[in-house]
Amino acid sequence: MKKPERIFVIGHKNPDTDSICSAIAYADIKNRTTQNKKYIPKRAGQINEETRYVLNRFGVQPPAYLGNIGTQVKDMDIRTSPQADKNMSLKNTWDLMQENGIVSLPIRDKDGCLEGLVTIGDIAKTYMDTTDSYLLSNARTQYQRIAETVGGEVVEGNGHGYFVKGRVLVGTANPKMLEGYVEENDMIIMGDREEDHLQAISQNVSCIIVGMNIVVSEKVVKLAHEKNIVIIRSPYDTFNIARLINQSIPVSFVMKRDNMVTFNTEDFTDDIQDVMIKNRHRAFPVINPHGKCIGTISRRNFLDMHKKKVVLVDHNEVDQAVDNIEKAEILEIIDHHKLGTLQTMTPVAFRNEPVGCTGTILYEIYGEQRLEIPEKIAGLLCAAIISDTLMFRSPTCTQTDKIAASALALIAGIKIEEFAREMFSAGSNLKDKSPEEIFYQDYKKFIGEGNVSFGVGQISSMDSEELKEIKEKLMPFMVSECGRHDITRVYFMLTNILEESTELLFYGEGSQQMAEIAFERKPDGDTFSLPGVVSRKKQLIPAMMEAAQLMNSDYA
């Protein structure tokens, strides 16, 4: 049965509660309304303490991490290879490759792990080597394989034994001449004369091959048995036996074992292209995470790669999206922010509403699809709305958000104010976190007029003393952070939920001037006091963008 197509539902980097919970909820909606597709919630960053509390509170596993949505080897059409082990003869290996139309064949052990790689060229090179009489013994060729290759059978001796010493000769001369050039342990191809057979036995050869399906005498068989000499009977004539016999050597003798260029199913195609160009092989073995070789890929596979398919929730800015988003196929976007910088190759379903939370939009979709909202999902979406609207105190909050949160709270069996205090308390408990962890817990990058790039982080708390402690940790860190990731100005919002105000930290050339223009006030020392400002999206970013535009026009 064909596996359903996988589609990832994912929010922005440095995910907040809305981003995570909306991804889980929308995957639930799509899986209940779509056939032959599997929607999988993912996260593009580390889960913060607030979101972790919410997930634990409602007994929901966090989505798995997906830091890069670029195409991987597993997104290519990996060519499966027939099973081939190192003991196969070259002839059987050649036949197998011809039947399957392949030019490179991975050689695997019984557990499926890669032992070597053989190509058509490797086999052809061996076929062309007609001067090495010791080839079969050097390759430790099994007598049974020799018999199979020349279309015959072992009529005497241990077919499971190996030819390990001596040359391969054609013995068509009379016994006197044979005595002069046949040596002990040689393998000799002979005709029907009994005296020749007896001469070879007397010289202690290791194996006698007779052609034309000749039946050797009982005397010859008896003497061969006494000396542990193998006798092989073939239907072919001497010429064809001599022509075919080199094809009996095991593929292990010619396969490449060392310095093989292999790729893992998890490797990103951007990382392997240069390796492929540098190593001009026709095919490269592919290894899965369990160490098994599952097939091969070639440069041609870059032409028919399958892009990962993704639904984006709670963002539509390329800088906030999972890495390599341009390499993925975006199917849908569900968001409540301003239109951003993402571009798509084809039209997509784009739902964007001026509400305070993506979770509110998902509540509406459940209703439109006439789907019952599971209790756990209702709890997640209610938490998302409370978080994004700062318990309805944010100017982004709408009546639609309040109605949705109230309905979801009833389904989840929670009291909004009591739950909000617990959630915000868990989210602002940052005593054991490093300045970097605090700074990037809820951080977003923006590009203003004139390509001015700035980053804004935010922490919301009901505890003013805790906000003071966070400020002391962050101020030195912001100095070292400015300039990284192409950011020239950094800001951090210390938002007091109960007082509905923000203390804005800033650092970087032009950062103070941009904030002064944005809020028409001077800083109080090294921060700006912004009463009534609690929303990054609706109150801070639009003002900063306008300030950047004014600064750019002044400089122009």
Strand pairing report for 443-447 and 489-496? unpaired
The ranges of the chain annotated as CATH 3.90.1640.10 are 5-70+308-427
Q: Which element (helix H / strand E) includes 116?
A: strand 114-119
- DSSP secondary structure, 315-382, as one string: ---GGGSPBTGGGSEEEEEEE-S---S---SS--EEEE-SSS-HHHHHHHHHHHTT-PPPHHHHHHHH
Q: Are 322 and 300 in contact (CB under 8 A)?
A: no
- Summarize the confidence of residues 72-83 as an average pLDDT: 90
pLDDT at 345: 85
CATH number belonging to domain 5-70+308-427: 3.90.1640.10
Tokens 């003798």 belong to 253
The alpha carbon dihedral of 169, 175, 180, 182 has a sign of positive
Dihedral Cα 343, 346, 348, 354, nearest 10 deg: 30
pLDDT at 287: 94
Q: What are phi and psi of 324, to 5 degrees?
A: 65, 30
pLDDT > 60? residue 555: no
pLDDT band at 122 (very low <50, low <70, confident <90, very high): confident
Tokens of 184: 């002990």
Q: Which element (helix H / strand E) includes 548?
A: helix 541-555
Q: Are 398 and 356 in contact (CB under 8 A)?
A: yes
| CA neighbor of 505 nearest in space, from 546, 466, 476, 543 | 476
pLDDT > 70? residue 452: yes
pLDDT > 70? residue 556: no
Tokens of 283: 């095919």
- Summarize the confidence of residues 74-78 as an average pLDDT: 89
Tokens of 247: 């094809």
> How confident is the model over 28-40, as pLDDT tens digits?
999 999 999 999 9
d(Cα 556, Cα 554) in Å, to the nearest integer?
5
Contact partners, residue 224, CB within 8 Å, separation at least 6? 156, 157, 201, 208, 230, 231
d(Cα 242, Cα 350) in Å, to the nearest integer?
72
> How confident is the model over 146-195, as pLDDT tens digits?
999 999 999 999 999 999 999 999 887 677 778 778 889 999 999 888 99
pLDDT band at 130 (very low <50, low <70, confident <90, very high): low
| Residue 311: strand pairing partners | 9, 332
pLDDT at 498: 84
pLDDT at 258: 87
pLDDT > 70? residue 547: yes
DSSP-H helix ranges across 190-299: 194-202, 218-226, 238-244, 269-278
Q: Which element (helix H / strand E) includes 31?
A: helix 17-33
pLDDT at 208: 95
- Residue 2 DSSP symbol: P
Give me the sheet containing 349-352, strands edge to edge.
64-65, 37-43, 5-10, 309-313, 329-335, 349-352
Centre a 10 Å sphere on the Cβ of residue 538 and count the other Cβ atoms it contains.
Answer: 18
d(Cα 182, Cα 163) in Å, to the nearest integer?
16
pLDDT > 90? residue 370: yes
Residue 423: C-alpha distances to residues 48, 53, 337, 497 (Å): 11, 7, 23, 12
DSSP-H helix ranges across 351-489: 358-368, 375-388, 399-412, 416-427, 435-439, 464-481
The ranges of the chain annotated as CATH 3.10.580.10 are 74-126+253-304
pLDDT at 140: 93
Q: Are 33 and 369 in contact (CB under 8 A)?
A: yes
pLDDT band at 554 (very low <50, low <70, confident <90, very high): low
pLDDT > 80? residue 481: no
Burial (CB < 10 A; 0-12, 13-18, 19+), residue 68, is middle
Q: Are 41 and 10 in contact (CB under 8 A)?
A: yes
The class (CATH top level) of 140-248 is alpha beta
pLDDT band at 348 (very low <50, low <70, confident <90, very high): very high
pLDDT > 70? residue 75: yes
The ranges of the chain annotated as CATH 3.40.1390.20 are 140-248
pLDDT at 129: 65
E strands within 1-82? 5-10, 37-43, 64-65
pLDDT > 60? residue 408: yes
d(Cα 443, Cα 461) in Å, to the nearest integer?
16
pLDDT > 50? residue 49: yes
pLDDT band at 356 (very low <50, low <70, confident <90, very high): very high
pLDDT > 90? residue 264: yes
Residue 48: C-alpha distances to residues 130, 168, 321, 434 (Å): 70, 73, 17, 13
Which residue type is seen at 66? L
> Which CATH number does the domain 435-555 belong to among 3.10.310.20, 3.40.605.10, 2.170.190.11, 3.10.20.10?
3.10.310.20
d(Cα 532, Cα 510) in Å, to the nearest integer?
24
pLDDT > 90? residue 440: no
Q: Are 507 and 482 in contact (CB under 8 A)?
A: yes
| CA neighbor of 462 nearest in space, from 526, 518, 386 | 386
- Summarize the confidence of residues 97-125 as an average pLDDT: 90
pLDDT > 80? residue 536: yes
Q: In 3-state terms, what secondary structure has residue 314?
A: coil
Burial (CB < 10 A; 0-12, 13-18, 19+), residue 465, is exposed
User: Which pTM was predicted?
Assistant: 0.69
Mean pLDDT of the residues in the chain: 90
pLDDT at 124: 83
Long-range contact pairs involving 198-203 (C-beta distance under 8 Å, separation at least 24)? 198/223, 199/175, 200/171, 201/227, 201/229, 203/178, 203/179
> How confident is the model over 278-292, as pLDDT tens digits?
887 888 999 999 999
For domain 74-126+253-304, the question of CATH label 1.10.10.10 is answered with: no
Dihedral Cα 146, 148, 150, 152, nearest 10 deg: 110
pLDDT at 236: 95
